[in-house]
Amino acid sequence: MNTRDTGYTTAQYGGVSVLVGAKQGAYPYGNSLLVRGATASLVVDPSLSLVEAAPHADVVLVSHAHEDHIAGLGSYEVPVHIHEGDLEALRSRDALVAGFGLPPEAVDGVDLAMRDEFHVHGRPDAAGFEDGTVFDLGGRTVTVVHLPGHTAGHSGFLIEPDGFLFVGDIDLTSFGPYYGDVGSSLVDFEASMRRCREIDAQWYGTSHQKGVVEGAGEFRRQLDAYVDVVAKREAALLAFLHEPRTVEEIVDHRWVYRPHVVGPQVRPVERRTAVQHLDRLRSAGLVAEVEQGRFRAT
């Protein structure tokens, strides 16, 4: 790994350069990719580290429309592509902030943070791609792998012939899967994790602290632990419902964020996460509404 005086470090995996953000890519930083072919080069997910030191690229791909993945986008006046499911959120900061599902009184403050801290101004020129879209760089290809759930358009990228699969925010961290936005889906996230498991690659790149995992076996081991966070959340919720609880009581208990975490996103994310699990447990007959607005394990 070579350290450069540019706010990131560079690690090479075949023809793929991983631009590792500060604090090993922990939020609000992130890991970007630089992929060079014989005729063109592209950057994936320009992070905060690329605001002042962006490498040249002919095209930019964005895995999904979250601020930490687009903070460095202003450094590029080249074509920008994202999955159709996240296209409006990339084109408009208003649409991006609306996707967080915040209480009205918090919207203006978060909008200012997107502008001032993450340099998000919207890219109305952005174009959409679909699952399976191929970007040919000359002797090296980047193929879109749609992995929804985190957001509707969240996507990974398979880079060949290197055998490098970028899985974005299926990031293998102990925090676990995040499916708390308005457009998030637990069901889709689980399907996306299963899809990742079926793809054989030499290297698996993540957006945050875990960095790059070598070998399909090790990736699947870490992915299984990541998947298990979902099961643990659900089991804990079921145990919590040994007596009737309202949704607000469930939210207060916290299933995603640790107690010390504060911010306008906390309660909305906790609520959307809890409701998705609650709906699934009710559909399975494991939880019932025993009185209006109160739920209990059966």
Kindly write down the DSSP assignment for every residue of 8-74, as one continuous string: SEEEEETTEEEEEPGGGG-TT---EEEEE-SS-EEEES--GGGSSSPPP-SEEE-SS--GGGTTTGG
DSSP the chain: -EE-TTSSEEEEETTEEEEEPGGGG-TT---EEEEE-SS-EEEES--GGGSSSPPP-SEEE-SS--GGGTTTGGG--S-EEEEGGGHHHHH-HHHHHHTT---HHHHHHHHHHHHHTT-----TT-EEE-TT-EEE-SS-EEEEEE-TTSSTT-EEEEEETTTEEEEET----TT-----STT--HHHHHHHHHHHHT---SEEEESSTT-EEESHHHHHHHHHHHHHHHHHHHHHHHHHTTS-B-HHHHHHH-SSS-TT--STTHHHHHHHHHHHHHHHHHHTTSEEEEETTEEEE-
pLDDT at position 7: 79
pLDDT at position 63: 98
Whole-number Å distance between alpha carbons of 261 and 132: 38
pLDDT at position 256: 95
pLDDT at position 2: 41
Residue whose C-alpha is closest to residue 76's, from 37, 39, 46: 46
Whole-number Å distance between alpha carbons of 50 and 71: 8
pLDDT at position 277: 97
pTM of the model: 0.95
Whole-number Å distance between alpha carbons of 221 and 175: 16
Whole-number Å distance between alpha carbons of 181 and 110: 14
Output the CA–CA distances (angstroms, integers) from residue 116 to 94, 119, 166, 281, in the order listed.
Answer: 14, 6, 28, 41
- Written as tens digits, the pLDDT of the chain (298 aa) is 443 445 799 999 999 999 999 999 999 999 999 999 999 999 999 999 999 889 999 999 999 999 999 999 999 999 999 999 999 999 999 999 999 999 999 999 999 999 999 999 999 999 999 999 999 999 999 999 999 999 999 999 999 999 999 999 999 999 999 999 999 999 999 999 999 999 999 999 999 999 999 999 999 999 999 999 999 999 999 999 999 999 999 999 999 999 999 999 999 999 999 999 999 999 999 999 999 999 999 9
Strand partners, 61: 44, 81
Q: Is the peptide bond before 244 cis (omega within 30 degrees of 0)?
A: no
Residues 245, 294 contacting (CB under 8 angstroms): yes
pLDDT at position 168: 98
Token pair in block for residue 10: 């560079």
CB-facing half-sphere around the CA of 9: CA atoms within 13 A: 9
Say how many C-beta atoms besides its own lie within 10 A of residue 51's C-beta: 16
DSSP 9-22: EEEEETTEEEEEPG
Please give the distance of CA 285 from its chain centroid, rounded to a whole number: 31
Say how many C-beta atoms besides its own lie within 10 A of residue 168's C-beta: 27
